[in-house]
Structure 1
Amino acid sequence: MKRGRKPAIDAADITRAAVAVADAEGLAAVSMARVAQELGNSTMALYRHVKSKDELLALMADAAFDEPPPLPDGDWSVKLGFWAKGVLAGVRRRPWFLQIPPSGPPSGPKSLAWFDSALRALEDTPLSEGEKVGVVMGLMTFVHGEAWLGVGLRQGFEDDPARFSGQYGQRLREVVDPRRMPALAKVVAAGVFDADELFDAAETTEDFEFGLRLFLDGVAAHIARRS
């Protein structure tokens, strides 16, 4: 009895299958063998199109995001704020993206499209082209850091909600020595960590908005000096 012919595949098919595995089972489940199984092909067939798992991860990182949406009307800060929130939403939709270590500057088509979108937000500013790149890379670092922290805290809260209760403030009172950590001691004494539930999705969003505003205000101050 002859076996059926294996379906023809290319790098795009392999990437889509890998993303589907990561969406369903997490990044740890992604392997060349697992993706081959998803496609109904042999593992060796994948290596004809994707040379290694590292290359596959790079392709997945680029495919994790949709195309960037059109920038809204408004000045550069409105556009750049919109862009930052779009990146955050994309990372939250596929948190496994944060587990893929960056292997170089943006090079995939989706990554370059998002890079271009952010640079276009700064078109009408007096910044040099190099400064625009610096602003975008700094904002990207901020957004990825906020997303990484938010995803980690959410997972920690789901695993052990008690760690995020008002008991945290009490524990800090027991271990924070005002002579060695005076600034932290003032925060603890002010009751900042005494809330019944320290993790709140709405507050996490507010924290992001606050940090984003600080970043954009810093860029505005730099632009004012350049002007």
Structure 2
Amino acid sequence: MNDEADGSDAGVLWRTSTSPRRGPKPRYTLDGIAAAAMSIADEDGLEAVTMQQVAARLGTTKMALYRYLPGRSDLDAVMLDRALGPSPAVEPGDWAEGLTVWTRTLFTRALAHPWAVELAQRPHLPGPEEMTWFETGLEATASLPLESGERLDLLALLSGHALSLVRQRVGSATPEEDLAGRTAAIFAHHRERYPRTASAFVEAGREGSRDAALDFGVERILAGTAALVAERRSAD
């Protein structure tokens, strides 16, 4: 998620009615158009999504879609909001567990549509669904002695960690395991040059600790936050 915006994609997601304002009864809906665009992105990548391709998928013309979406940035905004969906409910009381669920769910949603990572990390105005992620995350941290900016920074750290690992997972559910396999021959011949790296890859396999970066990162971010919280509470 990104809290910078240029405002160009604000209209479609935040207007009170998603129907065209003039003309005959609308034949399409934003949800239907977004679903067509998302299916193209899922199949062929974000670069394959054009207004022309979406129109062809729906059996209409590109110009017909402009009644619903003024431009491509609006289409991107709708796609991202639908891909993220609403934030999961977080049980009150345990802020660390709540933020863990929050981050894991974001990872899972983005992994289902990896192209959403690029859209989320571009400057944009959050849509209604994405805004629920801010609301839920901030609610989970409401009891902590953190400044508002720090609470937003905490969400940025968690979401950035999750989304970066989605990029790593594209094309493989076990990227670290795969990398270990690809580098085995290199280490067999150059172990003396890279002794620590070779040992780390081998030992991670023995320990069963490969491809655990999501939970490791979340735990370390939250442990650091807990230490800061404890420090501030003890100073009161």
Instruction: Give the shorter-chain TM-score range.
Output: 0.7 to 0.9
* Equivalent position amino acid for 1:193 in 2: F
Superposed displacement of residue 143, structure 1: 1.3
Q: 1:102 aligns with which of 105, 121, 128?
A: 121
- Where structure 1 has 5 or more consecutive residues not aligned to the other structure, the ranges are 177-184
Q: Is the Cα–Cα contact under 8 Å of residues 91 and 98 in structure 2 kept in the other structure?
A: yes
User: What is the identity percentage for the equivalent residue pairs of Structure 1 and Structure 2?
Assistant: 30
Q: Where does residue 203 of structure 1 map in the other structure?
A: 210
Residue in structure 2 matching 1:223, options 205, 219, 229: 229
Tell me how far apart the structure 2 counterparts of residues 82 and 156 of structure 1 sit (CA, whole Å): 23
Aligned residue number for residue 169 of structure 1: 187
Cα–Cα, structure 1 residues 65 and 171, in superposed 2: closer, same or farther, change >3 Å? Answer: farther
Deviation of the 1:102 alpha carbon: 2.9
Q: Which residue of 2 aligns with 1:12?
A: 31
Paired residue for 1:187? 196
1:162-210: CA deviations, max 9, x gaps? Answer: 9625224235537x4xxxxxxxx45235x22347989x9x831x22211
How does 1:81-120 map onto structure 2 within 5 Å? 81-100=100-119, 102-104=121-123, 106-120=125-139
Do 1:169 and 1:193's aligned partners in 2 also have CA atoms closer than 8 Å?
Answer: no
Deviation at 1:11, TM superposition (A): 3.3
CA distance in 2 between counterparts of 1:164 and 1:172 reads 14
- Aligned residue in 2 for 1:179: none
Q: Which has the higher contact order (CA 8 A, sep 6+)?
A: 2
Does the CA contact (< 8 Å) of 1:62 and 1:108 recur in 2? yes
Q: Distance in 2 between matches of 1:213 and 1:45?
A: 49
Single out whichever of 97-106 and 74-83 deviates more from structure 2: 97-106
Partner residue of 2:84? Answer: 65
Deviation at 1:157, TM superposition (A): 8.7
- Using the alignment, how far apart are the partners of 2:25 and 2:176 within structure 1? 45
Q: Is the CA contact 1:87–1:143 (under 8 Å) kept in the aligned structure 2?
A: yes
Q: TM-score with structure 2 length normalisation?
A: 0.74
SS of the residue corresponding to residue 121 of structure 2 reads: coil
Q: Pick one of 134, 142, 146 that aligns with 2:161.
A: 142
User: 1:196 and 1:123, CA in 2 relative to 1: closer, same or farther beyond 3 A?
Assistant: closer
Select between 104-113 and 37-46 the one with higher mean Cα deviation. 104-113
**Distance of aligned partners of 1:156 and 1:125 in 2 relative to their CA distance in 1, 3 Å threshold:** closer
Contact 2:86 / 2:129 at 8 angstroms: preserved in 1? Answer: yes
Structure 2: 5+ residue stretches without partners: 1-23
SS at match of 2:210: helix
Q: Which moved more, 1:17-26 or 1:115-124?
A: 17-26
